[in-house]
């Protein structure tokens, strides 16, 4: 049975070209994949014709003439741009015409439209956005990465439960460990929210909670799933992104001061490229939005062809592994 993915052709800094390329590449690699490509036909059709020369399979183009900009408010998208790619693609998911939706477009617009059109799973209080972090042992995930700036302790517990399901089903981590981001490892550390969340997480059934961790532990893989409110989570995520761009510059400056040979510099540069690649968001594609009655992945605005392809296959994996159904079961148990 084919998985049908709705793709926003207009989402991202380099859309629609890189989106179309990522779509065509993914179709070449998966015979059981169908893609509905949403965007203005007048813009997309000529590009698709040019870029798909020689391609064995093509996406189905769905005309979506309204354009959403990064400055458009969520209210604008919902009320006045119902013919946009985001609105029409999510509506297709709601009607059962598509199994998942991916976009590298306006995050606020996607969050609002997805919540309005798809709704939450029955037991979910707030949907949560996943952030990926490279560690010494593969990737860990952080929830929430910015969808919920203000959270109650019970929200953090649900984030942990949803993240645990995702880590187990989509990332294939057996009995994934869960930790709470805090300012100290001891149970009594943190503000009122953190202290209460710790108590609730410690008692939560079917959750492999290992306690508090600190910011310094983020890259050591102290846990498979790290829980924080969206304010802290987004700050951590953006700091992590800066490491990949700033670290090579700092090391380059040091190499010049040490008067290293060209051979020595080449070795260090190769190592730095490897480290930088670990932080590259293109590798995992985008951030899944968990807790919705549907599968939604939001990509980075700078997504390239590889990121689009990875978002598509991550969405396929989430649908195949029934992540949404497993979240409902976990929260209802």
Q: Tell me the per-residue pLDDT of 161-189, one tens digit each, with 9 for 90 and over.
A: 999 999 999 999 999 999 999 999 999 99
**What DSSP string describes 82-100?**
TTBHHHHHHHHHHTTS-SE
Give the model's pLDDT for residue 85.
97
Give the model's pLDDT for residue 259.
78
- Phi/psi of residue 9, nearest 5 degrees: -70, -20
Contact 133, 104 (CB under 8 A): no
Give the model's pLDDT for residue 65.
96
Tally of CB atoms within 10 A around 76:
16
Question: Comparing 1-124+291-333 with 126-283, is the CATH topology the same?
Answer: yes
Tally of CB atoms within 10 A around 94:
17
Residue percentage of the chain with pLDDT more than 90:
77
Give the model's pLDDT for residue 11.
94
Give the model's pLDDT for residue 64.
97
Alpha helices (H) along the chain: 17-29, 41-51, 74-80, 85-94, 107-117, 153-169, 192-203, 230-258, 262-278, 305-320, 323-332
Residue spans of the domains in the chain: they are 1-124+291-333, 126-283
Instruction: Domain 1-124+291-333: give its CATH code.
Output: 3.40.718.10
Give the model's pLDDT for residue 254.
84
Task: Tell me the sheet residues that pair with 34.
Answer: 4
Domain formed by 126-283, architecture: 3-Layer(aba) Sandwich (3.40)
Give the model's pLDDT for residue 137.
87
Residue percentage of the chain with pLDDT more than 70:
100
Give the model's pLDDT for residue 242.
86
Residues (pLDDT < 50) of the chain are none
């Amino acid at each position: 049975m084919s998985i049908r993915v709705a793709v926003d052709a207009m989402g991202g800094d380099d859309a629609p070209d890189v989106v179309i390329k990522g779509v065509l590449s993914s179709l070449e690699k998966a015979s059981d994949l169908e893609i509905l490509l949403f965007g203005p036909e007048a813009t997309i059709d000529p590009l698709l014709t040019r870029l798909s020369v020689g391609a064995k399979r093509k996406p189905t183009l769905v005309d979506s003439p309204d354009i959403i900009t990064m400055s458009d408010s969520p209210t604008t998208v919902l009320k006045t741009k119902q013919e946009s790619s985001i609105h029409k693609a999510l509506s297709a998911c709601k009607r059962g015409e598509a199994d998942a939706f991916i976009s590298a477009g306006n995050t606020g617009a996607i969050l609002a439209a997805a919540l309005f059109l798809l709704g939450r799973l029955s037991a979910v209080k707030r949907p949560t956005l996943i952030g990926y972090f490279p560690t010494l042992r593969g990737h860990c995930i952080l929830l929430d990465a910015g969808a919920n700036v203000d959270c109650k302790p019970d929200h953090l517990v649900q984030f942990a439960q949803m993240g645990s399901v995702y880590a187990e089903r989509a990332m294939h981590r057996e009995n994934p460990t869960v930790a709470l981001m805090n300012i100290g490892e001891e149970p009594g550390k943190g503000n009122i929210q953190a202290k209460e969340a710790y108590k609730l997480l410690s008692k939560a059934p079917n959750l492999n909670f290992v306690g508090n961790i600190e910011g310094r532990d983020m890259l050591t893989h102290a846990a498979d799933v790290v829980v924080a409110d969206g304010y802290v989570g987004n700050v951590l995520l953006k700091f992590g992104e800066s490491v990949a761009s700033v670290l090579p510059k700092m090391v380059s400056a040091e190499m010049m001061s040490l008067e290293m040979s060209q051979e020595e510099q080449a070795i260090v540069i190769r190592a730095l490229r490897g480290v930088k690649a670990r932080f590259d968001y293109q590798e995992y594609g985008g951030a899944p939005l968990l807790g919705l009655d549907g599968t939604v992945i939001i990509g980075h605005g700078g997504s390239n062809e590889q990121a689009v392809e990875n978002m598509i296959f991550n969405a396929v994996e989430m649908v195949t592994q029934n992540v949404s159904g497993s979240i409902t079961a976990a929260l209802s148990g």
